[in-house]
Amino acid sequence: MPRKVVLAALAIVAVLVIGWAINTTTPPLGIVGTLGDTRAYDPPSTGPTTTHAYDPVPAGDPTTTHAVDELPAKVVKVTDGDTVHVRDQEGAHTVRVLGIDTPETVKPRTPVQCYGPEASAQTKKLLPVGAQVMLRFEGPTEDRYGRLLAFVETPEGDDLSEQLAYGGFARVYPMSSRYRVKETPHLLELQASAKQRGAGLWGACS
């Protein structure tokens, strides 16, 4: 047999042997790990992620975002200075007012705090039962407890958070808080004015 034919045959055999070795040792696409490991490959997600500059959530993680920025509603009840019950065409809702925190009056296992009754009374005065109000949303609009997270516009067109901060009926969440909102710098200015005047809790509570 001519030498060239023999060399060609040997080359073909070598290629076949190498191909067989690769097929038996290299895992197919979609399989990762060492030889014999047949766990399915789960490639990392390359899609965009969402980050928020602030987290306006007074309690719990956000669960819902409404498609609208404003929602008209009617006041049903005021629980305390920063919690209001309203009703709209979709039903009844509990609203946690954004940007501020009033002293506790009805929290379980928590004593009534200084200036809490006065803060509740002021909110009841600004939001009488049956009054038409406007809820204004910012970012996530519902927490894990099902409460709406919103600013509340009074029947006179004033912002409830601003009114309570300026009157010394509430403390404003600082910029370092996870509950800060876009209006926090303005609310802090109103709180500073209340402190300077000794208004509300700033004069009555140590």
Please identify every residue annotated as catalytic: 96, 104, 147
Region of residue 58 (phi > 0: left; psi between -120 and 50: alpha; otherwise: beta): alpha
Q: CA 31, CA 25: separation in Å to the nearest integer?
A: 12
Closest by CA to 100, choosing from 152, 54, 142, 61, is 152
Q: Are 201 and 103 in contact (CB under 8 A)?
A: yes
Enumerate helices (H) and strands (E) in the chain, giving the number of each. Answer: 5, 9
Q: Under the phi-then-psi rule, with left for phi > 0, alpha for psi from -120 to 50, and beta for the rest, what region is 138?
A: beta
Closest among 195, 140, 144 to 172, alpha carbons compared: 195
